[in-house]
Structure 1
Amino acid sequence: MRTLILLLCFCASLLTAAPLKTAALLAAGEEPVRIVCIGDSITGVYYHSGGRRAYPEMLQLALHQLYPQAKLSVHNAGISGDTTTGGLKRLDRDVLSRKPHLVTIMFGMNDLVGTPVDVFKKNLREMIARCRAGGAEVLLCTQNSVVETPQRPRARLAEFTQAIRDVAKDVALPVADCFAAFESVHAADAAEWNLLLSDTIHPNMAGHKLFAETLAQAIVGKTVSLREVGPPTPVLPHIFAKLKAGQPVNVFAMPPYYEVIAPALQRLYSAAVVTVTPWPVAGQTLAQLEVSARKVRSMKPDLVLIALPAELPLKDQQQFHHDYSWVMNWSLSFGPQQWDVMVALPSAAKPVLSKEESRHEAFAQRLIKAQDLSMITRCSGDASPLLDLLSTWLAQQKP
């Protein structure tokens, strides 16, 4: 299915204009190339993509795959809740001050709630003109398609998406048509499209990879796959920095890990002071656990360890996706990651799973990867006690 997603993304990208001059600079590899991506929360680094990176950071990885010799920096200038009106106000400070060779612009998701479409188009044209006057090329980007809500009806989003295409045509700009890429997936398999989203409007990391692949193709005219790119490393930067500095740490953990996380960390740092707060799961449905996850942000822990039980039923895949994703979403800080979050697959604590539990685990694994979070797993044939398994896994993550 991932191959199908990439193929559909590639077909959508064929509608874009010829490669930008930035492509020649990347291919030459002789001078630093600066790209700035401006937009709203879908561009910025927030919970829905794991809190450590979004499509601008993935675009840098994609372009480095295509041009390993390139001297490239991609700056993320996305701010939650922003519109084209806000983008215009901060364009000099957040974008043009960096003297970019290329500026990517992705707005619309918030504009469609309160900005008249004519004002939206006028704002885009002014942003384009100012970027060009500053010596930068511009790539307009459509946003992803969404789960329809009263606030964001699909017809209204389609209207703003077409407005972006119309502006691009009027001023002779290429478009990275992410909306078309998402809709191509939707037309082929609605369930696969849903797995690109973390909530009703925000893509998860799987969606951000599709964004980055689509932008890269629009910039250089080549396809690239980010399928094998795993979570960023080190996977637990916050807690290891505190332990290394001799500072106490607070952990919020589901069973059975609340009993073993402290001794596992103390095997790595013998003097570590670890306070563990159990996260009860017994008798709770996945929907109830999603509700309990909402208290995490107010707790401000150093580490959250999610270990959803294997026996949670996977009857309604869409509802399971929603609740499981929101357990992870609420466990992360709203913006850039302020504490560490890791997820344990059921088989790590329960090596022998039933057929239904294995199905649960396989689907959960997709959701965790799409959230750009690290997983605690047990290799086939590994019969080590959970404390040893966790200690080994943590030792492998230690910077």
Structure 2
Amino acid sequence: MLAQFGDSITDSRAFWFSLRYKRNNAPPEMVKAFDLVSSHMIEDCWDRKGPENGNQGGKTIRWADQNLSKWLMRLNPEVAIVMFGTNDLNSVPGTEYEKKMRLVVQRCLDNGTIVILTTIPPRHGFTEEAAEFSKIIRSIARDLEVPLIDYHAEILQRRPEDWDGALDKFKDYQGYNVPTLIARDGVHPSAPEQYRGDYSAESLTRNGFELRNYLTLLKYGEVIDQVLTAQK
């Protein structure tokens, strides 16, 4: 059982759900990871969207802290992908964010759930704050020895100067159809139509949701291969 705990960047069916149906130009490591995940994971875990499953738009780590016990009781996940922080940047102090995130991760571990932590994407107008919150996530992953997907670093590595779809150079594009990694709102990952379901190297510099899908699939496959299979 795989759980997805997060905000709108997780609740969206552009994340994870879409992987099940379309994987054009997938590199060999992704094909291998998909086969591994498909043979291991319960099929309906490709979906599992909504607050009852631990993901909803607009939510922060406070919501996760308040509701985690019932999610763990209802789902009892083998693995949980956890990413909160984008909405926290302008509403939750860093010290509170770190404290509550550590508690959420530890409570998952106490339940026997493997946590895959994910750093948050950079955000327009909150560049320094997003970097600091991502630094906190890296620290928690290191301290509690849990797998990490460094989404923040991967975005900056691929588009160091123009990751932000809110830049003037992208003014002719609307919504998610911006050919960089963050949408026109400067907040959410992009999903330009021409790159949907495309996992070519080019697409992974232009579609923020597909980049997250790629990174998550590889990390979950790694956990299955190196941890879960080894336990059997």
TM-score normalized by structure 1?
0.41
Q: Which runs of 5+ in 2 are unaligned?
A: 22-29, 166-177, 192-206, 224-232
Between 1 and 2, higher relative CO (CA 8 Å, sep ≥ 6) is seen in 2
Report 1:71-90 matches (<5 A): 71-72=41-42, 73-74=45-46, 75-76=48-49, 77-90=54-67
Distance 1:90 1:141, change over 3 A: same
The separation in 2 between residues aligned to 1:102 and 1:188, in whole angstroms, is: 34
**RMSD over equivalenced CA pairs, Å:** 2.5
2:213 aligned with 1:212: yes
- For the Cα contact (< 8 Å) 2:15–2:212, is it kept in 1? yes
Query: 1:54 matched to which residue of 2?
Result: 14
Say which structure is richer in strand. 1
Q: Which amino acid aligns with 1:54?
A: A
Distance 1:190 1:68, change over 3 A: closer
Query: 2:40 matched to which residue of 1?
Result: 70
The separation in 2 between residues aligned to 1:191 and 1:107, in whole angstroms, is: 19
Distance 1:212 1:163, change over 3 A: same
Query: 1:292 matched to which residue of 2?
Result: none
Q: CA deviation at 1:162?
A: 0.3
The separation in 1 between residues aligned to 2:208 and 2:95, in whole angstroms, is: 29
Q: Residue 3 of structure 2 is aligned with which of 26, 36, 44?
A: 36
Distance 1:183 1:194, change over 3 A: farther
- For the Cα contact (< 8 Å) 2:117–2:148, is it kept in 1? yes
Q: CA deviation at 1:56?
A: 3.0
Report 1:279-290 matches (<5 A): none
Q: Residue 187 of structure 2 is aligned with which of 201, 215, 218?
A: 201
2:160 aligned with 1:187: yes
- For the Cα contact (< 8 Å) 1:103–1:139, is it kept in 2? yes
Q: Residue 147 of structure 2 is aligned with which of 174, 179, 204?
A: 174
What is the aligned residue count?
Answer: 178
Q: Which amino acid aligns with 1:203?
A: P
The separation in 2 between residues aligned to 1:38 and 1:176, in whole angstroms, is: 14
Q: CA deviation at 1:219?
A: 2.4
Q: CA deviation at 1:60?
A: 5.5
Computing the radius of gyration over CA atoms, which structure comes out larger, 1 or 2? Answer: 1
2:105 aligned with 1:128: yes
The separation in 2 between residues aligned to 1:113 and 1:188, in whole angstroms, is: 23
Report 1:112-261 matches (<5 A): 112-146=89-123, 148-149=124-125, 153-187=126-160, 195-198=180-183, 199-205=185-191, 206-221=207-222
The separation in 2 between residues aligned to 1:218 and 1:71, in whole angstroms, is: 14
Distance 1:70 1:123, change over 3 A: same
TM-score normalized by structure 2?
0.68
